[in-house]
Amino acid sequence: MNSRKSGRRQFLKNSAALAGLAAGAIVPAGATPPAPETVEQLHAYGERSPFENWTRKGKHLWPPEGASGSRDYGFRNPIQHQLSMITPAPLHFTISHGHEPRNIDPAQHRLLIHGLVDRPLIFTLDELKRLPSVSRFHFVECNANSGPTGPAGAARRAPTATAQDTHGLTSCSLWTGVPLSLLLQQAGVQKGATWMIAEGADPPKHLKSIPIEKAMDDCLVAYGQNGETVRPEQGYPLRMIVAGWEGINNVKWLRRIKLVDQPYMDMRESTKYPSLRLDGNARWFQFELGPKSVITRPSGGQQLAGPGFYEISGLAWSGGGAIRRVEISTDGGKTWSDAQLQDPVARKAHTRFVFPWEWNGEEVVLQSRSTDERNEVQPTRDEISKIWKIDNDYYTTSTNLIGHFNAIQPWKINRDGSVLNALFL
């Protein structure tokens, strides 16, 4: 069979599956999946049990239905079902800025490094795989994750919101690839190079300006994700991983790196991702994501069976390094107790925490707060409001996105065992 036709057919199948998710297609519990044609097909690539039917939640973000132009969409990770610090690759969140995943032949793909370098270089994928590699756990997070304003703010503020609704735009994988510093050393960084421009092979040619200090620190040119190749929607065959920085920096379908002496001020850098302040000015180039945590069980939309023992569990992460402490409150923030951090605890990665708890059947509010290795502590919503000089009305009336919103997330448990999002109750 012609391999190009076969690859195209598989790509169309994947696109059809993606469209099904966008329309809200979910396999009902107990449903029987379509039977494979042969036993070999059944075992060629493993499938999960049909009883495990939770999926990403997809939603078009902008522009509204019927409007002209490309439509952005986001698929949120069902974070409340994640059993460890690793997100399965098929459930890793994804954001599309108006385009579908590319169907790139890895044999034809090239990575160009040029600009203010001594030796411009072009790498094939095979050449990159010959170089010394590393594997590191890192989270990727959209700067809008958990934010209560912007196009999807109402859904995140709603009492019925789940952890997937509020915190589903983050995921954590084991990324494998070549340290970017190694590639830049081979190219020879010139003295005047203070920024790098990373560009993808997607149709809009998304690019991002990144300071050279970060490029030489812990950036990774990744071709592997959780033990297999990077998924097409995650940037196959190459993706930039910019550890701990907002997701837009992690350029997918990476094809070009140019060293320059100033940022490019691309459209998204200059108009989409600055945070507008109330005085009319804006904060540009907000890179590092602050400490954050969320209790995933019990969390919004879940139901407790009745009084008794429950293990509270969740995830914590920080762009500033490793999580060193997570505290749990079962009385709405009046008192706090330390949770247990489960191994592995990696820098700039999700960390799973657990806490034993006996519920007496009364109404309670559960919260978690994280502290990272630099002793930065996750703030409350009121503390963030003071920093931004905004009041509660702003959260419900403003269409401006508050990026990097890392406030403590409260969940209210009613006497009947139902769990509600209590951020604005």
- Does one domain contain both 350 and 371? yes
Is the model's pTM score more than 0.95?
no
Range of the domain at 404: 292-421
- Does one domain contain both 343 and 239? no
Residue 44 falls within a domain, yes or no?
no
- Does one domain contain both 244 and 303? no
Question: Confidence class of residue 47 from pLDDT cuts 50, 70 and 90?
Answer: confident
pLDDT tens per residue, range 168-208: 999 999 999 999 999 999 999 999 999 999 999 988 788 89
pLDDT at residue 286 in the model? 75
∠ Cα 336 339 360 (to 5°): 65
- Does one domain contain both 216 and 272? yes
Residue 353 falls within a domain, yes or no?
yes
Boundary (domain end) residue, out of 283, 315, 338: 283
CA–CA separation, 279 vs 35, rounded Å? 60
In terms of C-beta density within 10 A (0-12 exposed, 13-18 middle, 19 or more buried), how is residue 30 classed?
exposed
pLDDT at residue 203 in the model? 80
- Does one domain contain both 154 and 232? yes
- Does one domain contain both 248 and 299? no
Question: Confidence class of residue 9 from pLDDT cuts 50, 70 and 90?
Answer: very low
Please report where in the chains the tokens 């411009």 appear, as a residue: 120
Q: What is the mean pLDDT of the chain?
A: 86
- Find the helix or strand (DSSP H, E) in which 11 lies: helix 3-22
Question: Confidence class of residue 6 from pLDDT cuts 50, 70 and 90?
Answer: very low
- Does one domain contain both 384 and 260? no
- Does one domain contain both 332 and 366? yes
- Does one domain contain both 372 and 320? yes
In terms of C-beta density within 10 A (0-12 exposed, 13-18 middle, 19 or more buried), how is residue 168 classed?
buried
- Does one domain contain both 148 and 241? yes
- Does one domain contain both 187 and 279? yes
Residue 338 falls within a domain, yes or no?
yes
Question: Confidence class of residue 72 from pLDDT cuts 50, 70 and 90?
Answer: low
- Does one domain contain both 252 and 119? yes
Q: For the domain that residue 417 is a member of, what is the CATH number?
A: 2.60.40.650
Phi/psi for 13 (5° steps) reads -60, -45
Residue 335 falls within a domain, yes or no?
yes
Task: Report which of residues 36 and 81 the model is more confident about.
Answer: 81
Question: Confidence class of residue 39 from pLDDT cuts 50, 70 and 90?
Answer: confident
**Domain total in the chain:** 2
